[in-house]
Amino acid sequence: MPNLSTLITLVRPHLIEFGAGMASKAGSWAVANGFKRILVVADAFNARWVDVLGLSGEITIFGDVRPEPDVPNLEALVAVGEAAKPDLVIGFGGGSVMDLAKLAAVLPGSGQTIADVAGAERVAGKRAALIQVPTTSGTGSEAGTRALVTDPATQNKVAVQSNYMLADLAVIDPALTLSLPAQVTSAGGVDAMAHCVEAFTSLRAHPLIDMYALEGVRLVGRFLGRAIADGSDLEARAGLSLASLYGGYCLGPVNTTSGHAVSYPLGTRHHVAHGAANALIFPHTLAFNAPAAPEKTAAILAALGIASGKQENVFDAAHDFCSKLGCEMRLSGFGVPRDDLAAMATEAHAIRRLLDNNPRDMSRDDILAVYEAAY
């Protein structure tokens, strides 16, 4: 287990504006830094209210980012970037938008394609300035250096990681998330919690990150139920925006483990929303890992406000937490055919980059047993 003498690198935007009503800081920062040609990357929902960013100058809006964007979606954006030649790119949306905005800051005019930059630190240095403005709370993508784009041929996500894709400024305005429907709110909140929980119990867990991880879990425990019950609860929205940011801090240096690995095939093979898949799997992997990390598991349950007292109650406590949030807790409820479980287990078990850091070895049969129990 890493400890205080273990080396770690924490990469975060050096400037973060946080608070309701902060959105227009994007425009004032652009003016203060002399940026005049701006490309705003958004989805169809957020493209309609780009005004809140308070921008001036020559503004191009690409408002066509799709959820879980694929390579053709990115290519259309890069073509717009090639024509607009922006000196500043602004990602204004959820994780899907912010991931593509990172690539829109580095790919146009570079001669590099997504295939050239897939992997770690393969992006050539030249880039536009980048502001990230999240409108969901879940991915923490505003704080990170990673972008995920789906390859339509394989349905797998191509991951690009580069320190050149780090935002110069992150503007986190919780008021922008007031319009999120309850389902997107719960999926995002559980995703943020899963980033924190899995980083906290990872074999790579580090004291520098533990603080963010545990506080992120606590914020989700305190505010997710409130935000689902009343979407206009601005304090709850702010709590979730912060949890999402802290989850983003966890992803870079530590990253997730079994919860995400076991969840991924639900998304790639059956198009279950990422947070919904995380919620379904969460009680199973938390309970599976509990014997290997009893103190940290107890701390997680306490942070969520659902302390179980006994180790055997870990599953029930976590399951109860998710089902009270309205999450679907049966795999069959997502229309996943039973005869695909074996192939899903094989696929999940192959995600070694995550599973190798799980606190307890999880065999393919252990994963299959989770799917069967969840069915």
Ligand X SMILES: NC(=O)c1ccc[n+]([C@@H]2O[C@H](COP(=O)([O-])OP(=O)(O)OC[C@H]3O[C@@H](n4cnc5c(N)ncnc54)[C@H](O)[C@@H]3O)[C@@H](O)[C@H]2O)c1
Residues in contact with ligand X by CB under 6 A are 43, 45-46, 67-68, 93-97, 99, 135-136, 138-139, 141, 144, 146-148, 157, 176-177, 179-180, 184, 188, 251, 274
| Minimum CB distance to ligand X smaller for 258 or for 297 | 258
Amino acid identity, position 339: D
Contact 290, 314 (CB under 8 A): yes
The interface partner of residue 136, options being ligand X, Fe ion, none and the CB cut-off 5 to 8 Å by kind, is ligand X
For ligand X, give the closer residue by CB, 93 or 317.
93
Per-residue burial over 116-146, b = 16 or more CB atoms within 10 Å of its CB, e = otherwise: ebeeeeebeeebbbbbbbbbbbbbbbbbbbb
Q: How far is the CB of 29 from Fe ion (least distance, A)?
A: 28
Nearer to Fe ion, 43 or 191 (CB): 191
Residue 41: both structure tokens together: 């990357």
User: Which of 48, 271, 26, 263 has its CA nearest to residue 142?
Assistant: 26
68 in contact with Fe ion (CB under 5 A) = no
Find which of ligand X, Fe ion, none residue 46 binds, CB within 5 to 8 Å per kind. ligand X
Q: Return the one option of ligand X, Fe ion, none that residue 37 interacts with (CB less than 5 to 8 A, by type).
A: none
- Residue 185 partner contact from Fe ion, ligand X, none using kind-dependent CB cut-offs of 5 to 8 Å: none
Name which of Fe ion, ligand X, none residue 184 binds, using a CB cut-off of 5 to 8 Å depending on partner kind.
ligand X
Q: How many CA atoms lie within 13 A of 117 on its CB side?
A: 27
**How many residues touch Fe ion (CB under 5 A)?**
1
Q: Tell me which of ligand X, Fe ion, none is bound by residue 297, counting a contact when its beta carbon lies within the kind-specific cut-off of 5 to 8 angstroms.
A: none
* H or E element that contains 58: strand 58-62
Cβ-closest position to Fe ion: 191
Q: Which is nearer to ligand X, 93 or 259 (CB)?
A: 93
Name the percent of the chain in helix, strand, coil, to the closest 5: 55, 10, 35
CB of 320 to ligand X, least distance (A): 24
154 burial level (CB within 10 Å; 0-12, 13-18, 19+): exposed
Q: Which is nearer to ligand X, 42 or 314 (CB)?
A: 42
- Where do the H-state alpha helices sit in 3-145? 25-32, 71-84, 95-106, 114-117
What secondary structure does DSSP assign to 155-216, as a single string? -PEEEEE-GGGS-SEEEE-GGGGTT--HHHHHHHHHHHHHHHHHHHHSTT--HHHHHHHHHH
Least distance from Fe ion to the Cβ atom of residue 187, Å = 10
Q: What's the closest the beta carbon of residue 95 comes to ligand X, in angstroms?
A: 2
Q: Which of 43, 191, 210, 347 binds Fe ion (CB under 5 A)?
A: 191
- CB nearer ligand X, residue 68 or residue 210: 68
Long-range contacts of 118-121 (CB under 8 A, 24+ apart): 118/158, 118/159, 118/160, 119/159, 119/160, 119/161, 120/161, 120/162, 121/161, 121/162, 121/163
Distances 175 to 143, 195, 236, 374 between C-alpha atoms, Å = 18, 23, 11, 36
CB of residue 191 to Fe ion, shortest distance in Å = 4
The nearer residue to ligand X, 80 or 175, going by C-beta atoms, is 175
Build a one-symbol-per-residue string for 13-52: x at contacts with Fe ion by CB under 5 A, - elsewhere. ----------------------------------------
**198 binds Fe ion per the rule CB under 5 A:** no
- Closest approach, Cβ 4 to ligand X, in A, equals 26
Q: Is 142 an interacting residue with respect to Fe ion (CB under 5 A)?
A: no
Out of Fe ion, ligand X, none, what residue 130 binds, judged by CB under 5 to 8 A for its kind, is none
- For 308, other C-beta atoms within 10 Å of its C-beta total 19
At residue 321, what are phi and psi to the nearest 5 degrees?
Answer: -60, -50
Q: Pick the stretch among 48-56, 183-191, 234-242, 348-356 that binds Fe ion (CB under 5 A).
A: 183-191
Which residues contribute to the site for Fe ion (CB under 5 A)? 191
